[in-house]
């Protein structure tokens, strides 16, 4: 799942990286709000960004394409719990469903959950593995469990509650909430990206809007100072407002 933000698109990925860099360097966001971004977005977001950015995301089984991933949903209701993962896959051809009957899906790479890498099939549930969700195969609505090994399960437990959804070739939506009420909202589609971060007092800490015409970034510091950045084809403008807002 690493270094896949660029698959959103160069412009959106670059602007997002800039926004996170500004937050980190200036210390504008509360530590807890930054932690929400790190623990929740950088995990689920990387997987979902990969899915939404591609017009065709193959579902691989044993290295062989058997269908196309249509939807990908990930959510964690309680901090420290395993996320729930649900896929909807269009089989090509539909007759391949017979090959999947009785199959337990396990990530092709033991240490990484990544739709790009596909899955392998176990004939029965693996005793030391954890079930994190399922894949539904259409047509026919055949549903098979997804399991991960103990090392990957431990890694996937790290994070705050969040809800995330990606539609193939369409949209990515992520909502992440920290223990003290910090909130991160992320939305991206073919037209652009929007990121909004609130601290535990529900104050706007970061707001970023970007599309093909440019980007607008607003960062609020703990001292009340607001930094505004506007970038478009004509250049870059940075304004620092010392008034508390």
Residue-wise pLDDT for 118-142, tens only, equals 899 998 889 999 999 999 999 888 9
Residue 49 has pLDDT above 60, yes or no: no
* Rounded average pLDDT over 174-203: 77
Backbone angles phi, psi at 40, to 5 degrees: -100, -55
Question: Which H or E element spans position 208?
Answer: strand 204-211
* CA-based R_g, the chain, Å: 20
Q: Give yes or no for a contact between 106 and 119, defined as CB atoms under 8 angstroms apart.
A: yes
CB atoms within 10 A of CB 22: 18
List the one residue out of 164, 179, 177, 174 whose CA is nearest residue 194.
174
CB atoms within 10 A of CB 100: 20
Share of the chain above pLDDT 90, in %: 13
Token code pair at residue 32: 């807890």
Backbone angles phi, psi at 145, to 5 degrees: -75, 155
Give the model's pLDDT for residue 145: 96
Average pLDDT, the chain: 73
Q: Give yes or no for a contact between 34 and 56, defined as CB atoms under 8 angstroms apart.
A: no
Q: pLDDT tier at 89 (50, 70, 90 boundaries)?
A: very high
In which residue are the tokens 């970023």 written? 208
Q: pLDDT tier at 243 (50, 70, 90 boundaries)?
A: low
Q: pLDDT tier at 148 (50, 70, 90 boundaries)?
A: very high
Q: Report which of residues 234 and 125 the model is more confident about.
A: 125
Give the model's pLDDT for residue 5: 32
Q: Report which of residues 51 and 104 the model is more confident about.
A: 104
Q: Give yes or no for a contact between 156 and 132, defined as CB atoms under 8 angstroms apart.
A: yes
Q: pLDDT tier at 143 (50, 70, 90 boundaries)?
A: very high
Q: Give yes or no for a contact between 37 and 198, defined as CB atoms under 8 angstroms apart.
A: no
Give the model's pLDDT for residue 9: 32
Distances (CA, A) of 239 to 172, 195, 217: 30, 20, 10
Give the model's pLDDT for residue 12: 38
Alpha-carbon gap, residue 98 to 46, rounded angstroms: 32
Q: What's the N-to-C CA distance of the chain in angstroms?
A: 37
Q: Which of 104-113, 114-123, 128-137, 172-181 has the highest mean pLDDT?
A: 128-137
Residue 192 has pLDDT above 60, yes or no: yes
Residue 103 has pLDDT above 90, yes or no: yes
Alpha-carbon gap, residue 206 to 195, rounded angstroms: 8
Q: Which of 52-61, 81-90, 113-122 has the highest mean pLDDT?
A: 81-90
Give the model's pLDDT for residue 88: 92
Give the model's pLDDT for residue 168: 65
List the chain domain ranges.
5-53+181-241, 58-156
Q: Which of 57-71, 73-87, 124-138 has the highest mean pLDDT?
A: 124-138
Residue 28 has pLDDT above 80, yes or no: no
In which residue are the tokens 């790190």 written? 38
């Amino acid at each position: 799942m690493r270094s896949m933000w660029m698959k959103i698109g160069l412009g959106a990925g670059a602007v997002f990286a800039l926004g996170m860099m500004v937050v980190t360097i200036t210390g504008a966001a509360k530590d807890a709000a930054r932690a929400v971004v790190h623990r929740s977005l950088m995990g689920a977001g990387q997987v979902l960004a990969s899915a939404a950015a591609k017009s065709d995301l193959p579902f691989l089984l044993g290295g062989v394409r058997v269908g196309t991933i249509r939807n990908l949903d990930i959510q964690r209701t309680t901090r420290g719990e395993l996320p729930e993962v649900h896929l909807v896959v269009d089989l090509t051809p539909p007759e391949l469903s017979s090959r999947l009957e009785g199959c337990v899906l396990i990530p092709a790479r033991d240490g990484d959950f990544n739709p790009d890498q596909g899955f392998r099939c176990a004939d029965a549930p693996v005793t030391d593995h954890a079930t994190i969700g399922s894949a539904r195969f259409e047509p026919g609505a055949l549903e098979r469990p997804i399991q991960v090994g103990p090392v990957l399960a431990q890694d996937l437990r790290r994070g705050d509650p969040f809800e995330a959804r990606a539609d193939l070739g369409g949209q990515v939506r992520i909502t992440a909430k920290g223990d003290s009420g910090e909130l991160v909202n992320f939305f991206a589609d073919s037209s652009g990206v929007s990121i909004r971060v609130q601290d535990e007092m529900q104050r706007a800490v970061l707001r970023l809007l970007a599309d093909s015409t440019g980007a607008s970034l607003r960062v609020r510091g703990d001292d009340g100072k607001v930094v505004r950045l506007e970038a478009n084809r004509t250049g870059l403008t940075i304004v620092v407002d010392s008034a508390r807002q």
